[in-house]
Amino acid sequence: MDLLVSHTALRRLLLWLLGLLTGLGLAVELAYARWRSPGLRPLLGFLSLSYEQNLPTWYASGLLLCCALVLAAIARDAALRGAPHRRHWWGLTAAFFYLSMDEAVGLHEHLGGWLELDGVLYFSWVVPAGGAVLLFGLLYLPFLARLPARPRWRFLTAGVLYVSGALGMELPLGYWTERHGNDNLVYALIDLVEEALELLGVSLFLVALVEYLGARVRVTLSAPERQVSSEP
């Protein structure tokens, strides 16, 4: 039996899940800001996009892991064909495995501990992270130039969305946090936009990867053939 999943259906599913998670996160943030009920705290901790080790975090980490696995399949195929850009695919695979782990445990938050900055750079880890993203982008320019136009622009669009959330939205979030703290609705809303952009970028990247790998994912399930005895 063949199980076929089109990239169009995958995109609809991922965007639906994104809308569901974002909507639930927004609803619980607004409800808690309105009533400040202690009974809402567990629900807030489980559904808010501003919290760690909860449903949105696990989902984001899982999405990044899925990207890493599809990238590994593409990299292996490129290696078998002796493609000149196979090392770039393996590099992306390693990067997304790291991002998946980082999303789960928050490794990036320790990057800027040696910097004491304020204003939009209040979350100082964005400085080394921004430098790393810039260097990574420069190293991958030749790789992107060799890609067909359709996947190239889809990868770039997804990357811009992800970086806009992961780094870009950290700037206003840091500015606000320094002045007003993080226990307020405005902080939650800025952070929600940040996380939603990240999820959107990763979702679109995963769809683009699946399409690049072959337009559809085929899983073949087979049972062993029954042996028919010829003996009476």
Segments of 56-177 assigned E as strands: none
**Domain range summary for the chain, segments of one domain joined by +:** 2-216
Question: Considering the entire predicted model, what is its pTM?
Answer: 0.89
Alpha helices for 36-85 (secondary structure H): 41-47, 55-81
Q: Residues 111-141: pLDDT tens digits?
A: 656 678 899 999 988 999 999 999 999 999 9
Kind and range of the H or E run holding 102:
helix 86-105
Question: Hey, is 53 helix, strand or coil?
Answer: coil
Q: pLDDT band at 106, cuts 50/70/90?
A: confident
Phi, psi of 191 (to 5 degrees): -65, -35
Question: Hey, is 112 helix, strand or coil?
Answer: coil
Q: Which residues pair with 4 in a beta bridge?
A: 218
Q: Residues 18-46: pLDDT tens digits?
A: 999 999 999 999 999 999 999 999 999 99
